[in-house]
């Protein structure tokens, strides 16, 4: 099946695209190459951090809540300095239903003048090592200086994924840690007072496992902000792609990528395309069938959000980037869900050759079927841009036609095209447009910033955006949870050189 699908793709690909002079490796020094791929990573992280606090928000809500932004709005959290240990727990019945659960705890002594106390809910090995999975629909904490019902916000942490509806936290505890944590940026009303009682109200259900408790505790955070980005799915899956290249080499197949996914990724929500694809892989279903079987999100954004690495690995070779990205995308997606990854991968590959964003978009279009819905949306946005229509009018029409966030991918591919074209290569303008389009803001802001970073290099990214990222990338790939971005880029460079030697001036995939 894999070989037949690959041959079919190559036949269609060859019919619509001729291998010409443009498909040659870009001559680039090691120093410049590393500069551009590091800029791509840092910029993608910066865009993701900008968009994540308003992920899945409607653009009208964003405009009302944030009428003007000129920097990050809450992603980065104060540096962790310690924690209280578990102070209490709630018992979650095993009937698969949501329950309203309450526990009261006494706030321990801590240096209020130095630290902020942040409530956390979840499990860690200090409490139990019995595996379990929970869903948390709502949480609140009330007590002295913290009244019930005030806008307490929460964020996902290790072992936690936010479900696609952006309302339910999925905790997957494997015996180490799984947490939902309070958002420290909104603790302006008052401090948690030592010696006073606080009531945790949690609406949760247990979906699997033997552990029946959810613990409650407090983190202690200082005034300094923690450096780095992640873990996030956009970047974590690209780490998996790099590891697959390192293990299997430039001829890596979809089957081999699937093997690595099965071995290194945690459980993923079945509401996501990646969760369905991974579950199918673990059932023994091979690519490309694993990406489409029973997959309600097969044409969602998951491919588009993880395409950059293939372009980084193939500078000047969008043909190769498109084929490598196809081999990755079919693990979890089908048709337009696959085309999104190819589109972005081809743009990044071509970004080493030109700074013209329209040419990059045209390159991306060359490597997907001309008659697919994805291409139709991109071309529609291009037509409106050429007609010089105001970008907000175009945005409004796009979202009205495709109101569903992420699934299918059409609103998202329209948003990244709109932001790149109307942004005219300017960082602030491009990011501003992607941000105020709403929908899957973290993915879309990350993608457009990644493109601009790859085009321009690190000097293009202002310190206010790059410094909070630093050199730290966190991900949820088992055994590879924290990276130096510098080291990550060096490892990508090694694989790029192997790919270049493997294919030479030709395309060994097209020859088969």
Q: What is the pLDDT of residues 119-147, one digit of tens each?
A: 999 999 899 999 999 999 999 898 887 76
**Would you place residue 12 in the very low, low, confident or very high pLDDT band (cuts 50, 70, 90)?**
very low
Question: Looking at residue 152, what is its pLDDT?
Answer: 64
Higher pLDDT, 224 or 179: 179
**Would you place residue 21 in the very low, low, confident or very high pLDDT band (cuts 50, 70, 90)?**
very low
Q: How far apart are CA 166 and CA 51, in angstroms?
A: 13
Say yes or no to pLDDT of 16 above 60: no
Q: Name the pTM for this structure.
A: 0.79
Question: Looking at residue 165, what is its pLDDT?
Answer: 57
Q: How far apart are CA 22 and CA 317, in angstroms?
A: 8
Question: Looking at residue 155, what is its pLDDT?
Answer: 81
Q: Are 299 and 333 in contact (CB under 8 A)?
A: yes
Say yes or no to pLDDT of 9 above 70: no
Say yes or no to pLDDT of 2 above 90: no
Q: How far apart are CA 281 and CA 341, in angstroms?
A: 20
Question: Looking at residue 176, what is its pLDDT?
Answer: 82
Q: Using omega within 30 degrees of 0 as the cis cutoff, is the peptide bond preceding 288 cis?
A: yes
**Would you list the DSSP string of 127-190?**
T----EEEEEEEEEEEBTTB-TTS---EEE-TTEEE-TTSS-EEEEESSSEEEEEE-GGG--S-
- Taking residues 486-503, what's their average pLDDT? 98
User: Domain 80-224 classified CATH 1.10.3470?
Assistant: no
Neighbours of 19 (CB within 10 A): 13
Fold observed for domain 30-68+230-502: ADP-ribosylglycohydrolase fold (1.10.4080)
- Taking residues 329-356, what's their average pLDDT? 98
Task: Provide the residue ranges of all domains of the chain, joining segments of one domain with +.
Answer: 30-68+230-502, 80-224
Q: How far apart are CA 30 and CA 24, in angstroms?
A: 17
Say yes or no to pLDDT of 428 above 80: yes
What is the share, in percent, of the chain residues with pLDDT greater than 70? 92
Question: Looking at residue 6, what is its pLDDT?
Answer: 44
**What one-character DSSP code corresponds to residue 181?**
E
Higher pLDDT, 160 or 230: 230
């Amino acid at each position: 099946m894999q070989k037949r699908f690959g041959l079919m793709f190559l036949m269609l690909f060859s019919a619509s695209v001729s291998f010409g002079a443009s498909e040659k490796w870009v001559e680039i020094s090691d120093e410049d190459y590393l500069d551009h791929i590091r800029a791509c990573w840092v910029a993608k992280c910066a865009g993701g951090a900008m968009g994540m606090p308003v992920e899945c928000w409607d653009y009208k809500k964003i405009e009302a809540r944030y009428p003007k932004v000129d920097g990050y709005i809450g992603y980065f959290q104060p540096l962790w300095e310690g924690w209280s240990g578990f102070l209490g727990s709630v018992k979650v019945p095993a009937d698969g239903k949501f329950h309203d659960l309450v526990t009261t705890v006494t706030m321990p002594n801590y240096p209020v003048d130095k630290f902020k106390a942040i409530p956390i809910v979840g499990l860690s090995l200090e409490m139990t090592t019995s595996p379990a999975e929970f869903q948390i629909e709502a949480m609140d904490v009330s007590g002295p200086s913290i009244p019930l019902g005030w806008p307490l916000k929460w964020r996902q942490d290790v072992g936690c994924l936010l479900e696609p509806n952006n309302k339910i936290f999925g905790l997957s505890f494997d015996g180490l840690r799984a947490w939902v944590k309070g958002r420290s940026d909104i603790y302006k009303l008052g401090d948690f007072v030592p010696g006073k009682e606080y009531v945790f109200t949690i609406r949760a259900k247990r979906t699997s496992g033997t552990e029946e408790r959810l613990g409650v505790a407090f983190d202690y955070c200082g005034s300094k902000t923690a450096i780095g980005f992640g873990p996030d799915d956009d970047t974590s899956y690209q780490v998996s792609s790099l590891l697959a290249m390192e293990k299997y080499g430039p001829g890596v197949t979809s089957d081999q990528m699937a093997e690595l996914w099965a071995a290194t990724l945690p459980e993923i929500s079945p509401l996501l395309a990646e969760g369905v694809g991974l579950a199918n892989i673990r059932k023994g279903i091979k690519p490309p069938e694993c990406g489409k079987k029973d997959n309600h999100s097969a044409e969602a954004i998951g491919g588009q959000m993880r395409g950059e690495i293939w372009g980084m690995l193939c500078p000047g070779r969008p043909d190769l980037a498109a084929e490598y990205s196809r081999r990755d995308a079919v693990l979890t997606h089908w048709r337009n869900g696959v085309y999104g990854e190819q589109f972005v991968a081809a743009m990044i590959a071509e970004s080493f050759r030109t700074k013209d964003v329209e040419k990059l978009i045209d390159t991306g279009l060359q490597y997907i079927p001309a008659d697919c819905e994805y291409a139709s949306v991109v071309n529609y946005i291009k037509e409106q841009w050429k007609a010089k229509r105001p970008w907000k009018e175009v945005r409004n029409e796009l979202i009205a036609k495709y109101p569903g966030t992420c699934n299918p991918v059409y609103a998202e591919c329209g948003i990244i095209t709109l932001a790149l074209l109307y942004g005219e290569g300017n960082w602030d303008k491009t990011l501003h447009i992607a941000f105020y389009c709403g929908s899957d803001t973290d993915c879309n802001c990350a993608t457009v910033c990644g493109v601009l970073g790859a085009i321009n290099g690190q000097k293009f990214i202002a310190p206010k955006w790059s410094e909070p990222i630093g050199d730290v990338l966190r991900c949820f790939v088992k055994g590879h949870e924290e990276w130096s971005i510098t080291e990550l880029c060096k490892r990508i460079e090694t694989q790029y050189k192997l790919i270049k030697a493997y294919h030479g001036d030709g395309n060994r995939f097209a020859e088969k």
